[in-house]
């Protein structure tokens, strides 16, 4: 019993030592390659070398044990390597996908930001052009003897929307003129006025307004910028139309006109070149009147130019009715008997049209 017992104890010690070495080695490998060790550890502990085995009752062959250990090590290493490769491959693809998604997201986000910035820049440019046109028509820059600068814009009460847009952007006040159906916008706060000057400098075209602005620029050590030649889609015309323009219908002839009046003929010459029409002299009031009367020119303005640079005054209501006007004209609704369907359609159109005060000269 003595030698056999001693041999069995040696075998048990060797087996426990091997188990401990293998488990420690596997754990070290798995921890270093950062994979989930739960399944492999369970495989080692429960399948290959169960820790809770009952005492050995039969004498195993040392050679068989050694063979089993080698086979187990070889099998276990293949399991570890296989799982590591799979996991690393998966992580690589996940990282690549994550990187691709991140790059794509950044590209999309960057593109959206650039598009938004471009759109915002275009909107600001169009608004500044519109504002310059409005100031050229109904505005006035003033500089007191004490050096206090201000801007005033006077418009009809129905066009209050235009003035409140400017107030919201630059500050200032909007007040009703005493005993008159007009509103006055006034801006004299230095910060707001400097921001407005920065917005319209180089866009003002009225020679009188340029002289007024030039005095203020000189007072604040700002270089006055001369305007570039007017182009078709420049927002200046929309602002000039909102201030000095009109759209009206001749009751007798049933014709439609888009006009703009100004004492300075220089401003109207560019309109003829870009939008057609003619300039007429109004000797009684000492002014000139640009008139657009051809159907194709009017429709191009309404369906092209004003789609890009919309009117912000109450005149936009009539601009939106121009297409309907020509539809009824083609049907000769303006000459139809009052009680006919076409006659009633024309009557309803005229009632709606007259709700908007034309403000024609």
3-class DSSP string for 150-197:
EEEEEEEHHHHHHHHHHHHHHCCEEEECCCCCEEEEEECCHHHHHHHH
Q: pLDDT category, 49, cuts 50, 70, 90?
A: very low
The H-or-E segment that residue 257 falls in is strand 256-262
Averaged pLDDT, 228-256: 93
pLDDT tens-place string over residues 37-47: 444 445 444 44
Ranges of each domain in the chain: 124-220, 235-356
Distance CA(293)–CA(256), nearest Å, equals 6
Distance CA(238)–CA(212), nearest Å, equals 22
Averaged pLDDT, 89-100: 49
pLDDT tens-place string over residues 103-149: 455 444 554 544 555 555 668 999 999 999 999 999 999 999 999 99
Q: pLDDT category, 355, cuts 50, 70, 90?
A: confident
- Between 101 and 307, whose confidence is greater? 307
Distance CA(141)–CA(143), nearest Å, equals 7
SS3 336: coil
Q: What is the CATH number of domain 235-356?
A: 3.10.28.10
Q: Of 14-28, 244-258, 346-360, which gets the smallest average pLDDT?
A: 14-28
H-helix segments, 45-142? 62-138
Averaged pLDDT, 85-98: 48
Residues in the chain: 361
Strand partners, 262: 288
Distance CA(146)–CA(149), nearest Å, equals 9
Give me the residue label for tokens 């068989």.
64
The H-or-E segment that residue 319 falls in is helix 316-319
Mean pLDDT, the chain, whole residue set = 79
Query: Residue 89: how many CA atoms within 13 Å on its side-chain side?
Result: 6
Between 2.40.160.40, 3.30.420.10, 3.10.28.10, 3.30.70.100, what CATH number should domain 124-220 receive? 3.10.28.10
Nearest to 361 by CA among 265, 247, 268, 240: 247
Distance CA(67)–CA(21), nearest Å, equals 16
Q: What's the pLDDT at 47?
A: 45
182-187/173-176 β-pairing: antiparallel
Q: What's the pLDDT at 181?
A: 87
- Between 6 and 351, whose confidence is greater? 351
Same-fold call for 124-220 versus 235-356 = yes
- Per-residue CA distances from 288 to 138, 169, 234, 266, 283 (Å): 16, 33, 22, 10, 8
pLDDT tens-place string over residues 143-176: 999 999 999 999 999 999 999 999 999 999 999 9
Distance CA(284)–CA(100), nearest Å, equals 73
Are the beta carbons of 7 and 59 closer than 8 angstroms? yes
Q: Is the pLDDT score of 298 beyond 80?
A: yes
Q: pLDDT category, 65, cuts 50, 70, 90?
A: very low
Q: What is the dihedral of CA 76, 79, 82, 83, to 10 degrees?
A: -120
Q: Of 13-17, 319-323, 346-350, which gets the smallest average pLDDT?
A: 13-17
């Amino acid at each position: 019993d003595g030698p056999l017992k001693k041999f069995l104890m040696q075998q048990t010690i060797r087996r426990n030592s091997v188990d401990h070495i293998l488990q420690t080695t596997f754990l070290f490998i798995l921890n270093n390659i950062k994979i989930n060790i739960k399944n492999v550890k369970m495989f080692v502990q429960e399948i290959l070398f169960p820790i809770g085995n009952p005492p050995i009752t039969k004498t195993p062959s040392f050679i068989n044990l050694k063979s089993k250990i080698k086979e187990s090590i070889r099998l276990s290493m293949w399991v570890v390597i296989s799982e590591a490769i799979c996991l690393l491959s998966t992580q690589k693809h996940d990282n690549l996908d994550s990187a691709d998604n991140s790059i794509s997201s950044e590209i999309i986000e960057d593109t959206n930001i650039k598009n938004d910035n471009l759109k915002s820049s275009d909107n600001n440019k169009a608004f500044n052009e519109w504002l310059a046109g409005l100031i050229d028509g109904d505005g006035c820059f003033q500089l007191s003897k004490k050096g206090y600068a201000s801007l005033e814009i006077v418009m009809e009460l129905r066009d209050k929307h235009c003035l409140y847009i400017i107030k919201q952007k630059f500050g200032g006040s909007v007040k009703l003129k005493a005993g008159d159906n007009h509103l006055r916008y006034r801006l004299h706060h230095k910060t707001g006025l400097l921001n407005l000057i920065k917005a319209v400098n180089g866009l003002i075209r009225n020679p009188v307004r340029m002289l007024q602005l030039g005095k203020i620029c000189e007072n604040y050590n700002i270089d006055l910028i001369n305007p570039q030649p007017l182009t078709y889609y420049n927002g200046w015309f929309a602002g000039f139309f909102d201030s000095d323009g009109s759209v009206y219908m001749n009751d007798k002839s049933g014709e439609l006109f888009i006009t703009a009046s100004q004492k300075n003929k220089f401003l109207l010459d560019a309109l003829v070149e870009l939008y057609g029409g003619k300039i007429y002299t109004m000797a009684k009031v000492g002014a000139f009147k640009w008139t657009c009367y051809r159907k194709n020119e009017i429709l191009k303005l309404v369906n092209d130019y004003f789609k890009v640079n919309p009117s912000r005054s109450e005149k936009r209501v009539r601009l939106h009715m121009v297409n309907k006007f020509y539809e009824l004209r083609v049907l000769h609704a303006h000459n139809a008997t009052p009680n006919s369907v076409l006659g009633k359609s024309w009557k309803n159109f005229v009632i709606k049209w007259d709700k908007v005060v034309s403000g024609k000269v």
